[in-house]
Structure 1
Amino acid sequence: MTKSENITWHHSQVSKERRQALNHHKSVVLWFTGLSGSGKSTIANAVEKALFDQQIGSYVLDGDNMRFGLNSNLGFSAEDREENIRRIGEVAKLFVDAGVITLTAFISPYRADRDKVRENLEADEFIEVFVDTPLEVCEQRDVKQLYAKARRGEIKGFTGIDAPYEAPLNPEITIDTSKQPLADSVKQVLTYLADHNYVSLATADEN
């Protein structure tokens, strides 16, 4: 529900379908979800690079990056997390309308919030990628020392320690970065996109 009733949606003269035709590929949201340190951002950025190398328009919306600007006024309460994901979902929808493959890398711990983003898009425009890396592996990595701080009580409401993470029930793609290297994870995502006709990828012989 918007706060103002005196607004009207302005329809563009250029449709999403025409933008997709110009780009020679469909647009979709690849929603990477998982614990901190699971490898979401690493995979998302590697997939973006692989798509870019094949002249496929894509962009990564990263959880930390978005909190520097658009979501800089939000904290990590349940309410703020919900609003964080709502805003990103709206931005991602605009990117899809622009004909861009959009990769989001957010913990997005609540199933209902992720489902709302899915419901706000067309049926084939949301691909949930569950980066199902075990908590103990994420803690071992702990590049930002966030888990260590949470264990010491210096960070409250940290997902996986004293705040819940609700794993996807039926993700389109599941990746465990403790069991396969980055290159295989990227290939898994690209193969899904090609097999489901989102993109047409050049083979090694064509490069």
Structure 2
Amino acid sequence: MEQYGLRGGAGRRGLGRIGWAAAVTAGCAAAALAVGPSWAVRHPVPHPELGAVAPGAPQASTLPAVVAAPSRSHLEVVRIDPDPAPPGGTTTVHAFVANEGPDTTASPFTVTVTLPNGVTADPPFYPADCKVVAGGRQVRCVFGPGLKEGRSATALVPVLLSEDVPLGILEGGSVEVHSADDPGGKGHRQPFDIKVVETGGGD
């Protein structure tokens, strides 16, 4: 498995939602902690300033920026429930997004993690420039273009459970992806549950 992503030889024909989840179980979450690849630019690189301009031509500040046309890539969120945690404890949300192709992404995409009640974001995040928004209810991460077909990107969002959160299954969390390349369709949002256990408890 490559750093910070999966490579499926057959793209969406070879890996469906079950295949992605199985691959994650095999260890992709751990690989996401590695240094991100060269494509994972958090913000689009600014268009370089133009140097000399021919007489009578518009000034550089008035020239239109070059914007890539959207690709035919399909981004899908794969559901991964965080590890169980006790009241007052911490766990990590793995926001796992796969490109099922057929194209490489040509536009940035935004991954938004919505937290359930009783849970707060507990940075640092991965990528480090993820932002807490919506009054603390969401964490938003932006990835640059260049995610190839059959590969994935993962945002890691550590969270802190309230001391008074009840034992059981904590619902209401979700991971969602938005991109100009893939404005509609299925698989853009998946819920996640957090299992609240006694201190020292587990599965």
TM-score by length of 2: 0.25
Structure number with greater Rg is 2
TM-score by length of 1: 0.24
- When you count helix as a share of all residues, which structure comes out higher? 1
- When you count strand as a share of all residues, which structure comes out higher? 2
